[in-house]
């Protein structure tokens, strides 16, 4: 059985994504971003 350290794995994934994103920017491709769309009027779903 192998025990994984979640913080180490998460940092590894973040570093890999950052590297890939920087490469895309250097190639002149679109910057990646995250968007959220609120559907409906449920107040608990809203974030300010």
Q: Are 9 and 1 in contact (CB under 8 A)?
A: no
Q: Does 31 reside within a domain?
A: yes
DSSP, res 46:
-
Domain that holds residue 18: 6-45
Indicate the pTM of the whole model: 0.57
Question: Does 1 fall in a domain?
Answer: no
Distances in Å between the Cα of 39 and the Cα atoms of 3, 7, 8, 35, 48 are 40, 33, 36, 13, 15
pLDDT, tens only, 1-48: 899 999 999 999 999 999 998 999 999 988 778 887 878 887 777 766
């Amino acid at each position: 059985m192998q025990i994984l350290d979640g913080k180490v794995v998460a940092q590894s994934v973040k570093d890999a994504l950052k590297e890939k994103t920087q490469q895309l920017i250097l190639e002149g491709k679109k910057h990646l971003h995250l968007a959220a769309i609120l559907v409906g009027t449920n107040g608990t779903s809203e974030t300010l």
